[in-house]
Structure 1
């Protein structure tokens, strides 16, 4: 009998590894342990030295540059997927960005330009990836993005990213409905606070980590491997009847007041 989480032979594309401590790295490790064939992206040449060792350690077959703000890069990436693999079985979108001046200020005061950029990189890029992945997932597949509970309730200092993540979660539901007939499942994974490079841009994030450890039911914070375990399950055939969900992996924080 095969293990419950079996990704042997499945082709997965991971968007968003920043370094060995990033959520995408934890997911990549879980995908690799489940037997998946993997490719990953790096933002630019400055980021490559931090991403390449992680990708190599996880057995990624290849890596490619991707800055979704650069015209044509996303299309080039998916053409490479088609050329190398001929198809795709799952994708993880784990990227987000907001200009510092907009992220650190009130939502009330955010600029139109900053809001638009945050939405483009953090949300609309997932739609673009879904559109490009659809023809490569001829036998179905799974698309996953990473969100945070600041989407549904106010988290101090999360600011602009709250509305942006809310849009991402809603997007995942609509994509699930639209792509479901093609056998493509869509999920938003919602980890609790994790000390990543991306989180370091949020003011006083260390305080949030401390409060979380003290308040969650299991009295332990989640880590990137916890997120990876969930992502691997969702990408597998064991989750073939699950779609359109926002799934917390937060040590129970979402049930607390």
Structure 2
């Protein structure tokens, strides 16, 4: 039974969580908060090596391996979860990939192979995994993906990932419409501002970007990963039943504070 303090109504429910890497991950903070309200997490990682690492964090929670570059691997994930657990009440899609091994390049020099690979992992995987889990989803399941606060500001060091996140944001809308033909499954995105995660550390010049973002927030303090996780929990819950096909910006007001005197040098 759900805990009496479970205002969100998530207690006793089962959620698939993709993207756990370490304790800095958005996925970790989501899973931690889900556990606090009595929900159960099924974790999905890319490799067997990562599964062994994640098991040190997740204790007895099930950890599945799925490489979203491989369609057969995604289909096998869906079958395994359905056979092992039957019904799941939601999916947290917190995965992304970009090849920054050659360092920063102007957007017009983006390699086609890099762009397509990043699109497959970061955006189209949401479509594929949602489809694979379709037989397991409760009729009112909720799917939440983690995006970025804006895809129309040309942050040069982020390279080609903003256009790919734009594709992810659009996919949320079309999945919400598509699934509405046969279910009440909802799809939403949390569009997060800059965070201190291990993945973001791989972006060229990210530390400088994060420091600027911290000054740009209305509160003059950087966005915390647990704040993104809390919004994710709300969207997973029946308390957000009227929200579907949306992207919720969580950036501590950064997007409305471009002309702050501290940034412009004014008085």
Aligned to 1:146: 146
* TM-score computed with the length of structure 1 as normaliser: 0.93
Q: What is the alpha-carbon distance in structure 2 between the residues aligned to residue 104 and residue 25 of structure 1?
A: 29
Does structure 1 residue 52 correspond to structure 2 residue 52? no
Contact 2:144 2:188 in 1 (8 A): yes
Q: CA deviation at 1:102?
A: 6.9
Contact 1:142 1:184 in 2 (8 A): yes
Q: CA deviation at 1:70?
A: 3.0
Aligned to 1:42: 45
Aligned to 1:65: 65
Q: What is the alpha-carbon distance in structure 2 between the residues aligned to residue 243 and residue 256 of structure 1?
A: 27
- Structure 1 residue runs of 4 or more that deviate by more than 3 Å after TM superposition: none
Q: CA deviation at 1:232?
A: 1.0
SS of 1:72 mapped into structure 2: helix
Aligned to 1:191: 192
Contact 2:190 2:250 in 1 (8 A): yes
**Greater shift in the superposed pair: 69-78 or 170-179:** 69-78
Q: CA deviation at 1:6?
A: 2.3
Contact 2:100 2:204 in 1 (8 A): no
SS of 1:95 mapped into structure 2: coil
Contact 1:150 1:158 in 2 (8 A): no
Q: What is the alpha-carbon distance in structure 2 between the residues aligned to residue 103 and residue 5 of structure 1?
A: 43
Q: Residues 252, 50 of structure 1: CA spacing in aligned structure 2 closer, same or farther, 3 A cutoff?
A: farther
Q: What is the alpha-carbon distance in structure 1 between the residues aligned to residue 52 and residue 132 of structure 2?
A: 27
TM alignment of 1:109-120, pairs within 5 A = 109-120=109-120
SS of 1:29 mapped into structure 2: helix
Q: CA deviation at 1:163?
A: 0.5
Q: Residues 54, 95 of structure 1: CA spacing in aligned structure 2 closer, same or farther, 3 A cutoff?
A: same
Deviations 1:142-189, CA, capped at 9 Å, x for gaps? 111111134222123011101000100011011112223410111111
Q: CA deviation at 1:133?
A: 2.2
Q: What is the alpha-carbon distance in structure 2 between the residues aligned to residue 172 and residue 66 of structure 1?
A: 21
Contact 2:46 2:66 in 1 (8 A): yes
**Greater shift in the superposed pair: 246-255 or 100-109:** 100-109
Q: What is the alpha-carbon distance in structure 1 between the residues aligned to residue 87 and residue 147 of structure 2?
A: 26
Aligned to 1:13: 16
Contact 1:44 1:66 in 2 (8 A): yes
TM alignment of 1:99-178, pairs within 5 A = 99-101=99-101, 104-178=104-178
Q: Which structure 1 residue ranges, 5 or more long, are not aligned?
A: none
Contact 1:34 1:232 in 2 (8 A): no
Q: What is the alpha-carbon distance in structure 2 between the residues aligned to residue 245 and residue 176 of structure 1?
A: 9
SS of 1:248 mapped into structure 2: strand
SS of 1:151 mapped into structure 2: coil
Q: What is the alpha-carbon distance in structure 2 between the residues aligned to residue 240 and residue 157 of structure 1?
A: 37
Aligned to 1:248: 249
